[in-house]
C-alpha cells in the first residue's frame, strides 16, 4: 500500500492552491472545438449526428460533467469536515489536512457554479442539469463512513485518471476545459490520498459483519448514482436538441440514450473503480467473496438498458 500522510498532503495542497478568479479569469470556451474528450463523451459512438452535432454533444456533456463534480462535492465537503473533528487537538496534521480538503471542495463547488453561468451564456440558454443535490447528499451521508468514503475514493481517483489519460494531451480539446480540469486535478490529487487514509481508518473500525454491510451500501450508492446519470442523460438530449434547434426521432433518441449513458457510466463510475490506486484500495479491504459480489452487482446494474425520462 502507498505511504500517504496527512502532513505531506497538506504541504502539497498549499503548494498547488489556486483562486477561482485565476482559473476563470476572462477565459471562454471556443465553440468550434470539442469541450470534452471523446473518451469521456458519447460523440465518438453516435451515428445520428454529423461533425457539428457531435461537437455540440461534447459541449452539453461538458456542462453536465462540471455540474456533476460540483453535485458530488455537496456530500464530500460535509463528510470530510465531520471526519476532521475526530482529530481535533489530538492530531493537528490530520485535522488541518482534512479541514483544508473540505475548504477546497467548497471552492470547487463555487468554481463549478460560476462555470455553469459561463456555459449557459455561451450556449445561449439555461441548460437543464441534475437537481436534488441536497437530498442526494443526505442519502450518501446516511450511509456508513466506510461506504461513503469508498465511493468518494473512486470519485477522486477518477479525476486523476480523467486529466492525465483523457484531457491533458488531447490536442483537439478546448483549452479552457484543460485549464479548469488541470486546476481540479492538482488539488484532487491530495484528496484522493486523504480518502485512501480515511477509508482505511473507517474500515479498520468495523467488524467483519459491518464490513460486509458497507460493501452492500456501496452498491446502493452506485445504484442511486446510476439513476441520477440516467436523469442527466435525458437532460443532455433535451439540451442538445435545443442547441441544434432540431428534434430527434425515436431511433435517434434511443441511440443517444444508450450511448450517452454508456459514456456517463464509464466516466462517473467505471473509470473510478478501475483506477489502479482505487483497485488497490478495494482489494486490500474486501475479501475475494466481497470483491466478486460487488463486481457482479455492478455488472448486472450496467447491463440494464437506459430508463431515461426527457
Quick one: CA torsion of 98, 102, 105, 107, rounded to 10 degrees?
-120
Q: Which is nearer to Fe ion, 191 or 235 (CB)?
A: 191
Supply the minimum distance, in Å, between the C-beta of residue 212 and Fe ion. 27
Using rule CB under 5 A, residue 162 touches Fe ion: no
Using rule CB under 5 A, residue 67 touches Fe ion: no
The region of 135-143, 191-199, 274-282, 285-293 touching Fe ion under the rule CB under 5 A is 191-199
Coil, strand or helix at 34: strand
Nearest to 79 by CA among 199, 208, 242: 199
Burial class (CB in 10 A: 0-12, 13-18, 19+), 1: exposed
For Fe ion, which residue of 61, 133, 174, 188 counts as binding (CB under 5 A)? 188
Q: Which is nearer to Fe ion, 74 or 156 (CB)?
A: 156
Q: Which is nearer to Fe ion, 188 or 259 (CB)?
A: 188
Supply the minimum distance, in Å, between the C-beta of residue 104 and Fe ion. 7
Nearest to 277 by CA among 165, 143, 181, 112: 165
Quick one: CA torsion of 203, 214, 146, 141, rounded to 10 degrees?
-160
Supply the minimum distance, in Å, between the C-beta of residue 52 and Fe ion. 32
For Fe ion, which residue of 54, 79, 108, 265 counts as binding (CB under 5 A)? 108
Supply the minimum distance, in Å, between the C-beta of residue 5 and Fe ion. 18
- For residue 92, what are the CA distances in angstroms to 1, 6, 7, 77? 24, 9, 9, 19
Please count the residues of this chain forming the interface with Fe ion, following the rule CB under 5 A: 4
Grid cell 489536512 is found at 97
The region of 128-136, 173-181, 190-198, 252-260 touching Fe ion under the rule CB under 5 A is 190-198
Nearest to 199 by CA among 158, 141, 268, 147: 147
Supply the minimum distance, in Å, between the C-beta of residue 186 and Fe ion. 11
Q: Residue 178 corresponds to which cell in the numbers above?
A: 484543460
How many Å apart are CA 257 and CA 42, to the nearest integer?
10
Q: Which is nearer to Fe ion, 58 or 189 (CB)?
A: 189
Supply the minimum distance, in Å, between the C-beta of residue 191 and Fe ion. 3
Supply the minimum distance, in Å, between the C-beta of residue 149 and Fe ion. 12
How many Å apart are CA 177 and CA 168, to the nearest integer?
10
How many Å apart are CA 173 and CA 11, to the nearest integer?
32
Supply the minimum distance, in Å, between the C-beta of residue 193 and Fe ion. 11
Per-residue x/- mask for Fe ion, residues 251 to 280, rule CB under 5 A?
Answer: ------------------------------
Q: Which is nearer to Fe ion, 54 or 191 (CB)?
A: 191
Per-residue x/- mask for Fe ion, residues 119 to 158, rule CB under 5 A?
Answer: -------------------------------------x--
Using rule CB under 5 A, residue 191 touches Fe ion: yes
How many Å apart are CA 181 and CA 27, to the nearest integer?
14
Supply the minimum distance, in Å, between the C-beta of residue 6 and Fe ion. 15
Contact 36, 180 (CB under 8 A): no
How many Å apart are CA 164 and CA 117, to the nearest integer?
27
Q: Which is nearer to Fe ion, 55 or 107 (CB)?
A: 107
Residues near Fe ion, by CB under 5 A: 108, 156, 188, 191
Amino acid at each position: 500500500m502507498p505511504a500517504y500522510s496527512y502532513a505531506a498532503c497538506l504541504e502539497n495542497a498549499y503548494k498547488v492552491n489556486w483562486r477561482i478568479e485565476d482559473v476563470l479569469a476572462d477565459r471562454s470556451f471556443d465553440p468550434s472545438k470539442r469541450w470534452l474528450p471523446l473518451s469521456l463523451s458519447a460523440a465518438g459512438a453516435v451515428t445520428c449526428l454529423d461533425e457539428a452535432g457531435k461537437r455540440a454533444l461534447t459541449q452539453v456533456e461538458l456542462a453536465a460533467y462540471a455540474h456533476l463534480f460540483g453535485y458530488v462535492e455537496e456530500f464530500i465537503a460535509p463528510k470530510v469536515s465531520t471526519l476532521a473533528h475526530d482529530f481535533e487537538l489530538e492530531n493537528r496534521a490530520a485535522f488541518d489536512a482534512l479541514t483544508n480538503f473540505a475548504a477546497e471542495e467548497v471552492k470547487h463547488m463555487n468554481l463549478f457554479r460560476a462555470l455553469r453561468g459561463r456555459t449557459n451564456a455561451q450556449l445561449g440558454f439555461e441548460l437543464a442539469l441534475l437537481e436534488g443535490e441536497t437530498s442526494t447528499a443526505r442519502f450518501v451521508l446516511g450511509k456508513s463512513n466506510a461506504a461513503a468514503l469508498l465511493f468518494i475514493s473512486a470519485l477522486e481517483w477518477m479525476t486523476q485518471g480523467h486529466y492525465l489519460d483523457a484531457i491533458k494531451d488531447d490536442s483537439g480539446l478546448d483549452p479552457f476545459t484543460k485549464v479548469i480540469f488541470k486546476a481540479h486535478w492538482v488539488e484532487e490529487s491530495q484528496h484522493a490520498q486523504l480518502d485512501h487514509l480515511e477509508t482505511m481508518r473507517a474500515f479498520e473500525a468495523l467488524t467483519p459483519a459491518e464490513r460486509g454491510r458497507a460493501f452492500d451500501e456501496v452498491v446502493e450508492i452506485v445504484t442511486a448514482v446510476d439513476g441520477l446519470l440516467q436523469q442527466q442523460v435525458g437532460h443532455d438530449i433535451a439540451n442538445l436538441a435545443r442547441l441544434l434547434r432540431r428534434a430527434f426521432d425515436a431511433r435517434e433518441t434511443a441511440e443517444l440514450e444508450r450511448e450517452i449513458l454508456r459514456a456517463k457510466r464509464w466516466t462517473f463510475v467505471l473509470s473510478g473503480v478501475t483506477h489502479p490506486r482505487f483497485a488497490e484500495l478495494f482489494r486490500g479491504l474486501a475479501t475475494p467473496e466481497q470483491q466478486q459480489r460487488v463486481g457482479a452487482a455492478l455488472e448486472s446494474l450496467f447491463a440494464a438498458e437506459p430508463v431515461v425520462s426527457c
